[in-house]
Homo-oligomer: A and B are copies of this chain.
């Protein structure tokens, strides 16, 4: 007899996933064709591959820090991204159809990968507290809303955001935080025993951190309009991240009373410089300004993890598992503000003349507003009681949704002094 929190999603999950895949294939059959006009595709293929690694290895492994949620982190990340890149191709393509057809090429694949990043960022906010069925729904809804907002920002408001500080990072973070607010679990007010890392899970997470960090220059330059602005985006991101990393280490030691580094800060705040420099990465801001942006991003991110995330969890009922607010949210806003300032004060260095500070501000505001509204709407849908979410005590535990090696269970029994019989009953 299934309870209110039935986590056996054998038929629900497979039916929904197969249905979505069939719908997508039919839509691809109707609308999608190769872009035969574009012959210089292969020059950006290395950029695509870097972004591709960031999406699947970077985001996937960054979230493996939890001691018993590694399968879900890297596995459900892969599922979201594989579904999302197909859906993103369609959602972004519908805004740019020619003759009723969507053309795909390497550039559209980069954009499709980009679109999945929003859902993966939001996944970080609710990590450990949502079911795979819920994540399928979130992926479809978020990427749909993202594509609309992206169209608004780039086509209607004519704002610039080459590294997507606003349209991906801030959007994904505030969307995810809004979902987390709606799905608030009072039972997790006290720290869950599984919501922590182990020594090796923290090292796995560094695989994600490093591939994100290393390929961020590619992320911020992949869709640049020309060679010159692409090189500037690469250089600016490279130095922003380097400065951010040194500052993050300094702050991580400074905010700890014994002066010790914190893995959660090194894994996350070192990346804030890549987010924050995104909007104006392709402009002639010079490396020293990029380094200032990166340094500020590092400071904001460290302080966010240290003070804001606990505050939001305890006072605002927003439980942000991975601290996406500090890695994507605040640095994304910083990136948007930097874009406003740069377009305002240095007219001569705008990538093209059409970007104005008021449109940049409108883009930032609309992005956050749409993300919050979309997240609340999505959260409401995900709250429907038959979507397989786990009980509070089963949060952050792969064994709810995955076959987990016995050895691991035995270890767990041993270390927790549980009764073996009760556990085996629990899984039946």
* Complex: A270 Cα to B76 Cα, angstroms: 13
Cβ–Cβ < 8 Å partners of A210 in chain B? 56-57, 60, 74, 78
Q: Shortest beta-carbon distance, A280 to chain B, in Å?
A: 14
**CB pair B42 A227 closer than 8 Å:** yes
**CB pair A401 B10 closer than 8 Å:** no
**CB pair B246 A17 closer than 8 Å:** yes
* Complex: A206 Cα to B61 Cα, angstroms: 10
Is A28's beta carbon under 8 Å from chain B?
Answer: yes
Is A187's beta carbon under 8 Å from chain B?
Answer: no
Cβ–Cβ < 8 Å partners of A320 in chain B? none
Q: Shortest beta-carbon distance, A384 to chain B, in Å?
A: 18
* Complex: A192 Cα to B234 Cα, angstroms: 44
Is A386's beta carbon under 8 Å from chain B?
Answer: no
Is A295's beta carbon under 8 Å from chain B?
Answer: yes
Q: Which residue of B26, B43, B204, B270 contacts A78 across the interface (Cβ within 8 Å)?
A: B270
**CB pair B74 A203 closer than 8 Å:** yes
26 A-B residue pairs with CB within 8 Å: A8-B258, A11-B254, A14-B251, A14-B253, A17-B246, A17-B249, A18-B250, A20-B246, A24-B243, A29-B288, A34-B232, A34-B287, A42-B230, A53-B214, A56-B214, A57-B207, A64-B203, A67-B407, A70-B199, A132-B249, A196-B405, A199-B404, A203-B204, A207-B207, A258-B427, A260-B401
A222-246 toward B: CB 8 Å interface, digit per residue (1/0)?
A: 0000011011101100110111011
Q: Shortest beta-carbon distance, A53 to chain B, in Å?
A: 6
A82-B253 CB under 8 A given contacts A213-B56, A403-B262, A407-B196: no
**CB pair B405 A197 closer than 8 Å:** yes
Segment with Cβ contacts to B, from A101-109, A145-153, A163-171:
A101-109
Is A357's beta carbon under 8 Å from chain B?
Answer: no
CB within 8 Å of B: which of A98-148?
104-106, 109, 132
**CB pair A286 B32 closer than 8 Å:** yes
* Complex: A58 Cα to B404 Cα, angstroms: 23
CB within 8 Å of B: which of A17-44?
17-18, 20-21, 24-26, 28-29, 32-34, 36, 38-39, 41-43
Q: Shortest beta-carbon distance, A160 to chain B, in Å?
A: 18
This chain's copy number in the assembly: 3
Cβ–Cβ < 8 Å partners of A71 in chain B? 199, 202-203, 261, 263
**CB pair B250 A13 closer than 8 Å:** yes
* Complex: A55 Cα to B207 Cα, angstroms: 13
Cβ–Cβ < 8 Å partners of A287 in chain B? 28, 32, 34, 104
Is A350's beta carbon under 8 Å from chain B?
Answer: no
A255-294 toward B: CB 8 Å interface, digit per residue (1/0)?
A: 0111111110010001000000000000010111001100
A288-B46 CB under 8 A given contacts A238-B109, A405-B196: no
A60, A253, A291 — most chain B CB neighbours (10 Å): A253
**CB pair A291 B25 closer than 8 Å:** yes
Q: Shortest beta-carbon distance, A190 to chain B, in Å?
A: 16
Nearest neighbor of A265 in chain B, beta-carbon distance: B403
Nearest neighbor of A33 in chain B, beta-carbon distance: B286
A75-B266 CB under 8 A given contacts A34-B231, A250-B17: yes
**CB pair A415 B405 closer than 8 Å:** no
* Complex: A403 Cα to B260 Cα, angstroms: 6
A202-B14 CB under 8 A given contacts A231-B105, A266-B75: no
Is A419's beta carbon under 8 Å from chain B?
Answer: no
Q: Which residue of B10, B26, B39, B258 contacts A253 across the interface (Cβ within 8 Å)?
A: B10
* Complex: A188 Cα to B320 Cα, angstroms: 44
Q: Shortest beta-carbon distance, A388 to chain B, in Å?
A: 9
Cβ–Cβ < 8 Å partners of A235 in chain B? 34, 104-106, 109
**CB pair B404 A415 closer than 8 Å:** no
Cβ–Cβ < 8 Å partners of A82 in chain B? 241-243, 245-246, 270
